[in-house]
Amino acid sequence: MIAFVVRHSLPFMFVAALLGFALPDASASVFPFLPYVLFSLMLLTLLSMQPSKVLRYLIGTKVWCYSLIHGAGFMALLSFLNVFISMDSDLMLAVMAVAATGSLFATPAIVRALGFDAIEAMAMTIATTLLLPFLIILTVYWYPTSNAELDLVAYGLRLLIFIISPLVLSHLLRRLLSANTLDRILMRTSKYTILLVFAFPFGLIGYFRNLWDQNSILAYQYLLIAFLLSALFFLGAMSVYWRFGKEAALTAAITSGNRNVLLTFTIASGLLGPAFLPLAGAMQLPMYLLPALTKLLHRKL
């Protein structure tokens, strides 16, 4: 059964989001454990990649140019579009925070399931995650909330726990464990790593369901914005990287479309205003539909 779910993991991610929406109480019970799942997924993903291969991409300009487009580029575009839309300030803060968000650490596993270069996707994920803290600070200063102030000590502590610690711990484990021992551990766990991803759509969409129960019309607006954002991230990255070939374009597109909104909430929490979690929940539906659509698109191309 588990092997079947792993083999068909891409559509099951979307099913997990639907189940979370249908079972709001169960979704709410899973949500408090998501930071632990996030930390575990980040660590396992880092351990599964050869550091030298990832570093080869990270020292090049292509990955960092991508990360600037992924974050600052889309933030600038959305700020420009807001001049004509004049979105509510709380919702705009949430939209900008989503744009600042780095790629999901499950992206390499998703990219591998699609048959693309997971190493490059890992480098893109790391680069966008490292830029996230600076972009979030810019976002908070551009769109400040009335009842929240940036506590640099608490913010720095969260960065240390959820961004720096997995990087350092993965490095230490590679130094302390023999290559054979580490390979045996990864061989038993790596193919099931993608199962951890199911917890995110299931646990996050509950906040969108709460909005749906309270104000369905507003929930439809959030859902529309979520689909438009996902389409913008996906198609924007694909069009920019199309000149590097179809596989590179689709890798950039799926990496841009998968946003680690839980990490953003974990490190910035109360700074993001009341609209962020409902929007992050709504993002789970288009975000986890993208991998299956990308697989179909890849077959057609």
Q: Over the stretch 29-79, which tens digit does the pLDDT of each residue have?
A: 999 999 999 898 888 888 888 888 888 888 888 899 999 999 999 999 999
Q: Where are the alpha helices (DSSP H) in 242-274?
A: 246-257, 261-268
Residue 68 lies in a domain: yes
Confidence of residue 238 (pLDDT cuts 50, 70, 90): very high
pLDDT of residue 148: 60
pLDDT of residue 86: 83
Residue 182 lies in a domain: yes
- Show the domain range for 92: 34-189+223-280
Instruction: Output the furthest CA–CA distance in the chain (Å, rounded).
Output: 58
Residue 286 lies in a domain: no
**CA distance readout (Å), 100 to 62, 71, 196, 292, 296:** 19, 5, 23, 24, 28
Residue 53 lies in a domain: yes
Tokens of 270: 């109360």
How does pLDDT run across 192-210, given as a tens digit for each residue? 777 788 899 999 999 999 9
Residue 25 lies in a domain: no
Separation of alpha carbons 172 and 124, rounded Å: 22
pLDDT of residue 16: 92
Residue 22 lies in a domain: no
Separation of alpha carbons 123 and 106, rounded Å: 12
Confidence of residue 127 (pLDDT cuts 50, 70, 90): very high
Say if residue 17's pLDDT is above 70.
yes
CATH number where 272 lies = 1.20.1530.20
What are the phi and psi torsion angles at 17 (to 5°)? Answer: -65, -45
Q: With pLDDT > 70 as the criterion, what percentage of the chain qualifies?
A: 95
Is the model more confident about 73 or about 141? 73
Report the range of poorest mean pLDDT among 10-14, 123-127, 250-254, 280-284.
10-14
Look at the chain and report how many structural domains it folds into: 1
Is the model more confident about 49 or about 285? 285
118-142 helix and 246-257 helix, angle to the nearest 10 degrees = 40
* C-beta neighbour count of 201 within 10 angstroms: 25
How does pLDDT run across 75-93, given as a tens digit for each residue? 999 999 998 988 888 999 9
Residue 5 lies in a domain: no
Residue 126 lies in a domain: yes
Average pLDDT over residues 142-160: 76
